[in-house]
Amino acid sequence: MPSVIPADSVGLVTPQTLHFDIPLALSCGRVLESYDLVIETYGTLNADASNAVLICHALSGHHHAAGFHSMEDKKPGWWDSAIGPGKVIDTNRFFVVALNNLGGCHGSTGPVSINPASGEPFGPEFPIVTVADWVNSQARLADRLGIRQWAAVVGGSLGGMQALQWSIAYPERLRHCVVIAAAPKLSAQNIAFNEVARQAISKDPNFHHGRYYAEQVVPKTGLALARMVGHITYLSDDGMREKFGREMRSGKLSFDFNPQFEVESYLQYQGERFSTAFDANSYLLMTKALDYFDPAAEHGDDLSAALSHARCRFLLVAFTTDWRFSPERSREIVDALVAAGKPVAYAEIESAHGHDAFLIPSPRYMDIFGAYMNRILATLPSNEGRA
Amino acid sequence: MPSVIPADSVGLVTPQTLHFDIPLALSCGRVLESYDLVIETYGTLNADASNAVLICHALSGHHHAAGFHSMEDKKPGWWDSAIGPGKVIDTNRFFVVALNNLGGCHGSTGPVSINPASGEPFGPEFPIVTVADWVNSQARLADRLGIRQWAAVVGGSLGGMQALQWSIAYPERLRHCVVIAAAPKLSAQNIAFNEVARQAISKDPNFHHGRYYAEQVVPKTGLALARMVGHITYLSDDGMREKFGREMRSGKLSFDFNPQFEVESYLQYQGERFSTAFDANSYLLMTKALDYFDPAAEHGDDLSAALSHARCRFLLVAFTTDWRFSPERSREIVDALVAAGKPVAYAEIESAHGHDAFLIPSPRYMDIFGAYMNRILATLPSNEGRA
């Protein structure tokens, strides 16, 4: 608990729920007649609404990106290391918007929400949503907030895919696109890990074909397994070696099946914790959004063609030991942007932390990211007279 | 089915069950009063018993390494590509012994066997066995077969760990040690994947704390998940890309949770098939044997010290895209052997097939492996007068 709110925190924040009544046509062909988006904002929108930054979240993320909900909170928002007064995404200068995506389980319309058509939770009836659908819903959010053009759309992992999609779908509506630890599409191996997670959840006897809410149970075992597999792919082999090595809890082999290596306890704890904090149907949807993202597909697998109408500047960041979305995958995006003649900066950051590195404020990462964000501030349209 | 047995096959083979009555003290402190080992042999033991090769199996392997059990068999033994007349392990010259290890589920004493103390299957009462225990049981097998010294002990993956353990525990009893796609101990990441597999199995409601035999069920879901995770780690990212890419079964996105990418169907099929063919308790034991293998631990984490008493020559082989046991892990063994002044040859083979490459007869792999085995033949003690 923060007995004192740190000076570089956005402080106590309150989520807002925005209701949207204009039907949203989804990629799957279905229509969401109306929906809620839960958001948080940090900082102040300037007079010409040119200082707004959209934060897109990853697989298990949400709208609570920075600050605290109460003085009792043990932890701040998930990207508090990067968002705050004087931080890389400086809330003294930027107006920062973070949301929970459709299909999520933190307040925006998703499987746990009541389906107005049935009066029951959507559950498995919730449509499969795509990155493109999310970006469409985020564009409406921008309309609602009076933001015609984002100073930047920023995201890591699945969030980076949303940022990339913004540059393709709404080229006039962002000036900068920051894509961190992402990929232009999943590899077969990525899809394979997602499928293991989905099988673990859907084969859990408490899943009940996704209608577990009515049964007053949750598929905890499956969700915990899914999270365990996920965690392995978020960490690097090197990072795990540094963090756990082959350390044993008791110091010696127990010759039984209780967890004895530190890494076993860690994974079990992470799985257990997640299984009571996240909705299984939402998890399934998030993995499908990842699997389906492939903006080049509509352009004959030519990513450069897919990006040809982009109008923003790009920053791509990758981490050396990230094997979920390796630097090679970021370079595919960089190469496509270069081929399309787009302005792109690329940083490959040395880190032992694997995919998780995008959440860890390592010095060179923060330096490069911060310098890029400062340049955005220096070139805000509202600054032009002062330059 | 082999309508005709290929000329380079060992042909139709029949497993033998050998019963051992001398109690075997295990690393865990318990004693197996008696046990069976199921073996197959190919070729003929020469007069001075100097041409015997022991094949050690990996996680899900067994004694059926080559040839066919009947004319109806669809597939030969698991290493038929390397074992046979004129093949790399030439059964015209070598006497080859393959066994099912203790704790396995293919006929050697394991969890499915009847515990003489209870008259019920051992199930979870079967002791946790280690690589060292296996090698001790294999030494008794050698005694039984009249083999004082193996021409070579050969294994891939967990089998390679057994070969390495032979060189440490019975230095006088092998002349060559062939360690393929192995590691001197598991990394935290390796252990983590094993723990996911164990959790998947042990949390399956049909596991019944390992006493599922009495319930007439098997924890199929858990075992299938375990195998799916395993398969991902056996294949390389590159290999999966080559084999599956993002190919879809129907050619387009289905917007549902049925398998639609080829890689999903493949994994589901592999998991399903394995879940009815392998015993869950055996799988748990095999993963523990992997986790526990760490011969350097008793020597202050100095692998070179652990190998200092070895008397054999070594061949180490690793595959470039193997990320389960990467070439780096094999080089740890090579470096320790060099530091200990032991004769070692090392080959790093280009392959897209990841860890599975050790089972695939790629040309350079077979050339190097074959040349090494031929040199063993050329230097058999029984040849010495002829040299």
pLDDT in tens, A45-88: 999 999 999 999 999 999 999 999 999 999 999 999 999 999 99
Of B9, B157, B326, B330, which is the active-site residue?
A: B157
**Tokens standing for B162?**
């057994």
Across A354-381, average pLDDT: 96
pLDDT for position B283: 98
Residue-wise burial string across A178-216, b where 16 or more C-beta atoms lie within 10 A, e elsewhere: bbbbbbbbbbbbbbbbbbbbbbbbbbbebbeebebbeee
Q: Which site among B196, B237, B293 would you substitute to test the A interface, given the most A Cβ atoms closer than 10 Å to its Cβ?
A: B196
* Distance of alpha carbon B351 from alpha carbon B236, whole angstroms: 9
- What is the DSSP secondary structure assignment for residue A248, as one 8-state letter? B
Beta strands in A286-326 (DSSP E): 313-319
| Residue found by looking up tokens 């033998």 in the block | B16
- Residues of chain A with pLDDT > 70, as a percent, come to 98
> Cβ–Cβ of A205/B203 closer than 8 Å?
no
**Given CB atoms, is B257 within the 8 Å cutoff of chain A?**
yes
Q: What is the interface size between A and B, counted as CB pairs within 8 Å?
A: 137
- B contacts of A203 (beta carbons < 8 Å): 221, 224-225
Radius of gyration of chain B (CA): 21
* Distance of alpha carbon B95 from alpha carbon B376, whole angstroms: 13
Catalytic: B63? no
Long-range contacts of B15-18 (CB under 8 A, 24+ apart): B15/B39, B15/B40, B15/B63, B15/B64, B15/B69, B15/B107, B16/B40, B16/B41, B17/B107, B18/B141, B18/B144
> Cβ–Cβ of A195/B291 closer than 8 Å?
no
pLDDT for position A2: 65
> Cβ–Cβ of A261/B200 closer than 8 Å?
no
Which of A241, A264, A323 is facing B187, going by the closest CB pair? A241
A121 pLDDT higher than 50: yes
Which of A188, A198, A225 is facing B240, going by the closest CB pair? A188
Q: Which amino acid is at A88?
A: V
How far is B296 from chain A, CA to nearest CA, in Å? 12
Of A137, A157, A236, A351, which is the active-site residue?
A: A157
Q: Which amino acid is at B190?
A: N
pLDDT digit string (tens) for chain B, length 387 residues: 567 899 999 999 999 999 999 999 999 999 999 999 999 999 999 999 999 999 999 999 999 999 999 999 999 999 999 999 999 999 999 999 999 999 999 999 999 999 999 999 999 999 999 999 999 999 999 999 999 999 999 999 999 999 999 999 999 999 999 999 999 999 999 999 999 999 999 999 999 999 999 999 999 999 999 999 999 999 999 999 999 999 988 888 999 999 999 999 999 999 999 999 999 999 999 999 999 999 999 999 999 999 999 999 999 999 999 999 999 999 999 999 999 999 999 999 999 999 999 999 999 999 999 999 999 999 998 775 444
Across A174-179, average pLDDT: 98
**Given CB atoms, is B244 within the 8 Å cutoff of chain A?**
yes
A23 pLDDT higher than 50: yes
Scanning A9-28 for CB atoms below 8 A from B yields 27-28
3 state DSSP class of A289: helix
Long-range contacts of B270-273 (CB under 8 A, 24+ apart): B270/B227, B270/B228, B270/B231, B271/A199, B271/B223, B271/B224, B271/B225, B271/B227, B271/B228, B271/B231, B272/B220, B272/B224
- A contacts of B200 (beta carbons < 8 Å): 200, 225
pLDDT for position B289: 98
The Cβ of residue B150 has, within 10 Å, a number of other Cβ atoms equal to 27
Q: pLDDT class for A385, splitting at 50, 70, 90?
A: very low
> Cβ–Cβ of A229/B229 closer than 8 Å?
yes
Across A115-126, average pLDDT: 95
How far is B271 from chain A, CA to nearest CA, in Å? 10
Supply the mean pLDDT for chain A: 96
Catalytic: B355? yes
> Cβ–Cβ of B224/A199 closer than 8 Å?
yes
> Cβ–Cβ of A237/B284 closer than 8 Å?
no
A101 pLDDT higher than 60: yes
How far is B274 from chain A, CA to nearest CA, in Å? 15
A384 pLDDT higher than 90: no
Q: pLDDT class for A387, splitting at 50, 70, 90?
A: very low
> Cβ–Cβ of B200/A291 closer than 8 Å?
no
Residue of B nearest to A189 (CA): B237
Query: Is the CB of residue A66 less than 8 Å from the CB of residue A42?
Result: yes
Catalytic: A157? yes
The DSSP-derived string for A50-65 is --EEEEE--TT--S--
3 state DSSP class of A198: helix
Q: Which of A25-29, A96-100, A114-118 has the lowest mean pLDDT?
A: A114-118
Query: Is the CB of residue A181 less than 8 Å from the CB of residue A357?
Result: yes
Scanning B96-155 for CB atoms below 8 A from A yields 127-128
**Given CB atoms, is A226 within the 8 Å cutoff of chain B?**
no
- Kind and range of the H or E run holding A200: helix A188-202
- A contacts of B127 (beta carbons < 8 Å): 255
**Tokens standing for B278?**
């392998």
Checking ipTM against 0.90, whether it exceeds it is yes
**Given CB atoms, is B253 within the 8 Å cutoff of chain A?**
yes
Residue-wise burial string across A55-70, b where 16 or more C-beta atoms lie within 10 A, e elsewhere: bbbbbbbbbbbbbbee
How far is A221 from chain B, CA to nearest CA, in Å? 7
* Distance of alpha carbon A174 from alpha carbon A143, whole angstroms: 13
- A contacts of B262 (beta carbons < 8 Å): 188
